[in-house]
Amino acid sequence: MYNYFKYSSLLFALIFSLSNCKGKRVSQKTVEVHDPKNKNVSDGAQELIFGLKYIDACSARMKGNVNEALKLFNECLRLNPNNIAVKYELATVNKLLGVNDLALAYAKECAAADPKNEWYQLILVDCYRTLKQYPNSVKVQENLVKNFPNNSEFKENLAIEYSFTGQYDKAYNMYNDLEKQYGINEQLSVNKIKLLQQENKFSEIEKEINKLIASDSTNSRYLNYLAEHYEYIKQPEKAKKIYEKIIRIDPSNPTVHLALSDYYKQKGDDAPAFSELKLAFLNPELDVITKYNIALAYFNTSAKFPETAYGEQGFELVKIMQRVHPSSPEANSLYGDYLFQENKKIDAAHYYSISASKDKSDYRTWIKLLNCLEELHSYDSLEKYSFEAMELFPSQSMVYYYNGLANLELRNYKKTVESLKDGLEYIVDDKLTMSAFYTYLGDAYFYLKEYEKSDKTFDDALKIDSDNDYVLNHYAYYLSLRKDQLEKAEKLSKKSNELKPDKGPYMDTYGWILFQLGKYQQAEQWLSKAKTFDPKKPNILEHYGDCLFKLNRLNEALKYWQQAIDNGGDKDRISKKIKEKSLND
């Protein structure tokens, strides 16, 4: 007696679990667990096995273990081949796995077995849609609406399906039925208007919108539908009257101010058009992205046509945008662009930094910030922000470039080498960028007195771009300072001057190499030219003084050495030359 009671309790628990496996989707009667008193089933073993597998299968599906669920549901089906609940689950699982034909077969069996079960019908609809069998999907949904006349969701879905299959009149009538059932509703009206637009039934559209307006005459959004409709059918004057009506109801409505701005612009009335645009920008309810796109268009147009008013007007708009949205990364970044264009680079860097801090994922803004800091020669800040950028964008070569450059200028040469070598790994098919990396690597290796590495990187840079005047000049100058390979240095420097004949430092390098080669007359000519181009460069003045000394023009040499000191040259070294009247080589 005790064993029988225990068995009955377990079976009741199984039936309860089975009935809840799908919640409301599957009725209890569809899970056919046999009566334990049935003499054809020995000790209820089959029912227990079925029930346990069914529960495990449902559990696996709910946990996302779809393949395991499929295996278990198939085992359930072998135990009970006519079980509709299992076939429903198999339809669901096969659909999840993309086995759509098999899913459809199971769904058809379920729907045919219980036409009044909404979930069976819905899985069939889903399968038909997946296989793009839309006419069949429509038929099933029509039966759903017939069997569940008070279910608005079924009616809405059928209306959408009618619309999708081009049956606009049926879709329109379905929305009308919903409207009779629930009253005038904005979403229903909008859906009806969209259908009418498909068939260019403009008078019917106007009637629908006016019916919606009649339900709430002070709703500015409803009025806006009508204004937009008039714009679409090319009746701008009617649209303007509606917009003016909306402004009386909602004076700060940004969408309407934008529409009025477009209206005046189309008529060629630039002043009122811009005034309306500013009113729209002043409203914080107009999203910042819309404002950004408008201000960006002004910025781009002003770059192409600088003589127009777009630059000044765009600057005014972006100022308003930044003031209204002070925390917006887009507003601060674009404000920085305008400031940079106006050569207000300190302010531009400030707003770029705000934007970068608000949206650390925007690589473009970070690059703008780093470029701006480089142009300002703010190398401490450049090192700080570029280091942060390397952590944020570890696969972007340019952040390593800026960090290497900053450390080079700060004389952190080992850090320069480390950053540039790391960055080289991320350069793909960009020879110019690679050449720039090699150039600064060559500089860093020179200052670290790793001359072989320095020469190799400069040679690598010239293999990429043999006409890189910066590399030619620096390479030549470093060789001259070491008094090494002076003939090669002479050729390199000569070529840099041929490429850029008006650069004082390049002339100085060539003159200094000639000096090192003992060609003092030629050196004097080049150093004199360099002095003319850069009359206050201490290095050039000192070199010129040295050359004059070798030409036995001592008084002139003393004069230029003193000028070199006065313009920031190495006072101790040059003063010793003056005092001893020698080069102190």
Mean pLDDT of the chain: 90
Nearest C-alpha neighbor of 494 from the set 469, 461, 462, 517 = 469
Task: Please give the backbone phi and psi of residue 469, each rounded to the nearest 5 degrees, phi first.
Answer: -65, -35
Domains along the chain with CATH numbers = 1-148 (1.25.40.10), 216-286 (1.25.40.10)
- pLDDT of 23 higher than 70: no
Q: What is the mean pLDDT of residues 338-364?
A: 96
pLDDT per position as a tens digit, 371-401: 999 999 999 999 999 999 999 999 999 999 9
- pLDDT of 10 higher than 70: no
Helices (H) and strands (E) in the chain — how many of each?
Answer: 32, 0
- pLDDT of 2 higher than 60: no
pLDDT per position as a tens digit, 441-469: 999 999 999 999 999 999 999 999 999 99
pLDDT of residue 544: 95
Alpha helices in 21-99 (DSSP H): 45-62, 66-79, 84-96
pLDDT per position as a tens digit, 191-207: 999 999 988 999 999 99
- pLDDT of 43 higher than 60: no
pLDDT of residue 15: 39
What residue has token string 């209206």? 263
Number of C-beta neighbours around residue 243 at 10 A: 27
Residues 362 and 513: their CA atoms lie apart, in Å, by 47
pLDDT of residue 420: 97
Q: Which two tokens stand for residue 221?
A: 């959004």
pLDDT of residue 289: 96
pLDDT per position as a tens digit, 136-162: 999 999 999 999 999 999 999 999 999
* Residues contacting residue 487 through CB under 8 Å, at least 6 positions apart: 517
Q: What is the mean pLDDT of residues 306-328?
A: 94
pLDDT per position as a tens digit, 483-532: 999 999 999 999 999 999 999 999 999 999 999 999 999 999 999 999 99
pLDDT band per the 50, 70, 90 thresholds, residue 112: very high
pLDDT of residue 288: 96
What residue has token string 């674009």? 334
Q: Are 435 and 468 in contact (CB under 8 A)?
A: yes
DSSP state of 34: P
Question: In this structure, is the dihedral angle defined by the CA atoms of residues 46, 49, 55 and 60, taken in order, positive or negative?
Answer: negative
* Residues contacting residue 392 through CB under 8 Å, at least 6 positions apart: 360, 361, 366, 399
Q: Are 43 and 3 in contact (CB under 8 A)?
A: no
Number of C-beta neighbours around residue 213 at 10 A: 18
List Cα–Cα distances, 99 to 95, 140, 425, in angstroms: 6, 21, 45
- pLDDT of 21 higher than 90: no
pLDDT of residue 18: 45
pLDDT of residue 441: 97
Number of C-beta neighbours around residue 92 at 10 A: 25
Q: Are 527 and 549 in contact (CB under 8 A)?
A: no
Residues 289 and 44: their CA atoms lie apart, in Å, by 67
pLDDT of residue 460: 94
pLDDT per position as a tens digit, 210-226: 999 999 988 889 998 99
pLDDT per position as a tens digit, 226-275: 999 998 999 999 999 999 999 899 898 999 999 999 999 988 999 999 99
Which pTM value belongs to this model?
0.69
Q: Are 164 and 134 in contact (CB under 8 A)?
A: yes
pLDDT band per the 50, 70, 90 thresholds, residue 46: confident
Q: CA neighbours within 13 Å on the CB side: how many for 467?
A: 3
Q: Which residue has the higher pLDDT, 60 or 23?
A: 60
